[in-house]
Structure 1
Amino acid sequence: MTMTAMAKPEAPSGCFPRAENRCHVVSNAPMNSEYRLLVVDAPETGLSAYAGQFFHLLCPATATEQPFLRRPMSIYRIDRENGQLGFLYKVTGKGTRALASLAPGDELNATGPLGVGFSLPEGTKHVAMVARGVGLATLAPLARMARAQGAMVTAILSARAPEFLMSRDELEAAGARVIEVNDVAGNSAPQEVINRLRDIHAETPIDFMATCGSNRLLGLTRDLCSEWRIPGQVAVEAFMGCGLGMCFACVVPVRDAQGHEEMKRVCYDGPVFGVEEVTAW
């Protein structure tokens, strides 16, 4: 399979419902000292989401926090059987602190699903995912999508320390093989991850790669995709205003097939792009 074998889905108008979903909180619990998992009951429009898309969440006003703009949030879990969505987030500012105040039964206003997500080429047999930190939130649904299409999934999860590693259970439940690396153990450096992936590729050839959460991981993913002549995609993170493509607050530089640079909107043209398009973000 060559890198030209994959056609990225057409995004924009009419491709997704862009609905204002009234969701109700099921749980909002800490996963560790930094991250929380927010699970909500969602209507049918919200459950139409697929891996790599996101929602624009209206953060509640509290006694101490008055968030003005919505917050873009990757989809961590799409549970159509139980009618639920999950969002994994790190509490860093007034918006996420406000989200952390939500309790079971509270209403969450979530616009979406938004953006262009992942697209696996037909016949994909082995997907390798590499993610760091909250980048895991974006890649978790991809594991289920890949397994549903009959592909094997290997996920390399990276973090600063063992206590910040998450999602093993989520990914293993999806049928992925999970490998954890961290800075404390000294096995999370890019060359260490490259060596591990080359060993995996030699054993069972990888024919698609996906990444999120680190420019270093983007670089190594791009290099390996080029070396093995396989397609790969990256989910890009960006500050957003409207989340609908109108305000152009989330543009990033990308390269076209001829190497010419242009600006594209993360919320509308992405957030998922080909690894050969994105240099950094």
Structure 2
Amino acid sequence: MAGINKNAAQIRANVVSNKRVGQYHQLIINIGDLAQTCRPGNFVAINVGGENSRMVLRRAFAISRVSANSVSGGTMELIVAPHGQGSKWLCAQGEGAILDIVVPLGTAFGIPTEPVQVLLVGGGYGSAPLFGLAEVLNAKGCRVDMLLGASTASKIYAPMEGKRAVNSLRIYTEDGSMGQTGRVTEPIAGLIQDLNIAVIYSCGPMAMLSAIDEITRGTDVVHQCAVEESMACGIGICMTCVLPVADADGNISMLRSCIDGPVMDGSFVQWDKVGKVL
């Protein structure tokens, strides 16, 4: 754990663009050379609200992808849903706005050393980091299949982009407004068998991550999930993002999502105890 956040830095970063994509905002932010140290699964902590804001805590956002640009330098992409006061403020920041950020933070997804069959499972806009991950896995020669799910069509983020990034894409909505009707977890057991899946990478609601763990538990499939817990500081100080996780000997500890995660081995997370006092 000593190496976590060793590349992180607090910088003032310029907003390159802010585009509305369905219900969400796609923000491109110039982070210079720090883009080279960002990995799929990392997140950024942003000071929101402006200098006179009462919102003293930073907000954590998953990094969708990073890229190098000869004009603006290294950039990162964020997909933000304008739900709370902090995210609404961020979504209102236009081109040229300056943000106070700390990046990159947290653990990243583990990348196979050899080509394997992988399945990406995303829920709502939480699926955004999987697109950058797909690019990395493709470069490693992995076969990449993807499942995207949400309650309704408008909450599926960039389905066409997902289709271009993977070998196959299946979409599930609970109301049947896009793709097939049902929960995104329903086809997973069958796909594990049909595609000989070795690793599942997942981002989305905790209930979805827990359901995937139930499917993979007792199998040889590795489940790497990016947990969704509120991170007030993002650097392991405040202890607000803890959740129960077992070690190899079965001992359960309350680990910090921002330092020990957000990417974790789903088989060690004690899903039935999340949100409870041990």
TM-score range, shorter-chain basis?
0.7 to 0.9
What is the CA deviation profile of residues 4-45 of structure 1, one whole-angstrom value per residue up to 9, with x for unaligned ones?
A: xxxxxxx33465311013221121122123x21111122112
Q: Does 1:121 align with 2:121?
A: no
Match of 1:200 in 2: 191
Match of 1:24 in 2: 14
Give the Å deviation of 1:154.
1.0
Match of 1:52 in 2: 41
Give the Å deviation of 1:93.
1.5
Q: Percent of aligned positions with the same letter in both sequences?
A: 26
2:257 to 266, 269, 272: 266
Task: Give aligned pairs, total.
Answer: 266
Match of 1:188 in 2: 182
Q: Does 1:135 align with 2:123?
A: no
Instruction: Work out the CA distance in 2 between the residues paired with 1:103 and 1:204.
Output: 43
For residues 252 and 57 of structure 1, do their structure 2 counterparts lie closer, same or farther at Cα, with a shift above 3 Å needed? same
Instruction: Work out the CA distance in 2 between the residues paired with 1:57 and 1:90.
Output: 15
What is the CA deviation profile of residues 187-217 of structure 1, one whole-angstrom value per residue up to 9, with x for unaligned ones?
A: 3336xx33x2344333321110011212332
Q: Does 1:99 align with 2:90?
A: yes
Q: Is the 8 A contact 1:21 1:46 kept in 2?
A: no
Match of 1:228 in 2: 219
SS at structure 2 position matched to 1:228: coil
Match of 1:275 in 2: 266
Instruction: Work out the CA distance in 1 between the residues paired with 2:182 and 2:202.
Output: 14
Deviates more, 1:114-123 or 1:15-24: 15-24
Letter in 1 for 2:245: V
For residues 16 and 155 of structure 1, do their structure 2 counterparts lie closer, same or farther at Cα, with a shift above 3 Å needed? farther
Q: Is the 8 A contact 1:21 1:45 kept in 2?
A: no
Q: Is the 8 A contact 2:43 2:61 kept in 1?
A: yes
What is the CA deviation profile of residues 111-170 of structure 1, one whole-angstrom value per residue up to 9, with x for unaligned ones?
A: 010011100232241111112112212322221121121111111111111122113233
Instruction: Work out the CA distance in 2 between the residues paired with 1:14 and 1:278.
Output: 19
SS at structure 2 position matched to 1:219: helix
Match of 1:69 in 2: 57
Letter in 2 for 1:245: G
Instruction: Work out the CA distance in 2 between the residues paired with 1:14 and 1:131.
Output: 25
For residues 80 and 156 of structure 1, do their structure 2 counterparts lie closer, same or farther at Cα, with a shift above 3 Å needed? same
What is the CA deviation profile of residues 51-103 of structure 1, one whole-angstrom value per residue up to 9, with x for unaligned ones?
A: 0010101214289x642211011001212356221111111121111101211
Q: Is the 8 A contact 2:4 2:105 kept in 1?
A: no
Q: Is the 8 A contact 1:19 1:46 kept in 2?
A: no
Match of 2:28 in 1: 39
For residues 177 and 22 of structure 1, do their structure 2 counterparts lie closer, same or farther at Cα, with a shift above 3 Å needed? farther
- Give 5+ residue unaligned stretches, structure 1: 1-10
Give the Å deviation of 1:268.
0.7
- Give 5+ residue unaligned stretches, structure 2: none
Using structure 2 for the length normalisation, give the TM-score: 0.87
